[in-house]
């Protein structure tokens, strides 16, 4: 498989390094609007730098977006129109119903596909499984240090409590987890989200509580930052790498 990565920041770089050493991947194509960011990874085994995003789409079998919503609207759209496999890191972009429906429609028409990694949260496989039979509620409680949300406070403060769709609008830089859980389970209007800041917190915390016909589950993760970018949870990069390995592997584990 030939893999293309659009966006060579913290996540894109970590995925590129893993992909270049992964069995089943014969080439890794890279593109970034900052040419130096892509060129910095040229030394990796099997790595090639594309001159344009269009060249990358033409060369790759799987196109990975590790940039922003604009790339989802353009490069991912082009890749799906060409019948390619894609992986999105900016999952919050799919809260835009019109965009999501357009991309899904393209994938159905051309045989393309969108893969969505679980990102900075655990338990997505459980939400997917529970959704097969009478899933009643999905709640996400996100707690971050004040700096993580550009706030200043000396006490624990609940900033938001409401549907995921509204959370996506209010916290555009912190919504990928809410979007992933919404798409896996009850949708953006029925998934409940709480966002809080805690001056005593040193890590980003995500707590997922699900109830349904299967019973009740509670999953909590405290994320360490990426070694190369303190604003990014390391688990987000690892989930993309794990999903890529799952795509190229002859065996799949989990829902």
Residues with active-site annotation: 206
> SS3 for 230?
coil
> SS3 for 50?
coil
Q: How many CB atoms lie within 10 A of CB 47?
A: 18
> SS3 for 244?
helix
Residues 22 and 56: their CA atoms lie apart, in Å, by 19
Contacts of residues 166-169 at CB distance under 8 Å and 24 or more positions apart, as own/partner, are 166/193, 167/193, 167/195, 168/92, 168/95
> SS3 for 136?
strand
């Amino acid at each position: 498989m030939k893999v293309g990565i659009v966006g060579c920041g913290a996540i894109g770089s970590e995925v590129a390094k893993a992909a270049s050493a992964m069995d089943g991947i014969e080439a890794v194509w890279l593109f970034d609007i900052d040419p130096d960011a892509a060129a910095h990874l040229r030394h990796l085994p099997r790595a090639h730098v594309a001159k344009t995003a269009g060249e990358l789409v033409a060369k790759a079998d799987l196109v990975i977006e590790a940039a922003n919503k604009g790339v989802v609207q353009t490069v991912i759209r082009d890749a799906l129109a060409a019948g390619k496999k894609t992986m999105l890191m900016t999952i919050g972009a799919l809260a835009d119903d019109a965009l999501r429906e357009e991309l899904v429609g393209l994938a159905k028409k051309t045989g393309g596909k969108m893969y969505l990694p679980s990102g900075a949260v655990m338990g997505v496989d459980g939400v997917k499984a529970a959704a097969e039979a009478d899933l009643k509620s999905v709640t996400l409680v996100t707690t971050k240090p004040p700096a993580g949300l550009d706030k200043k406070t000396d006490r624990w403060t609940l900033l938001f409590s409401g549907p995921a769709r509204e959370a996506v609008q209010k916290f555009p830089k912190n919504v990928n987890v809410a979007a992933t859980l919404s798409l896996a389970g009850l949708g953006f209007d029925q998934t409940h989200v709480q966002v809080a800041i805690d001056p005593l917190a040193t890590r980003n915390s995500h707590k997922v509580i699900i109830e349904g016909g299967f019973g009740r589950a509670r999953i909590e993760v405290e994320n360490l930052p990426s070694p190369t970018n303190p604003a990014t949870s390391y688990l987000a990069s690892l989930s993309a790498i794990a999903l890529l390995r799952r795509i190229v592997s002859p065996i799949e584990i989990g829902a």
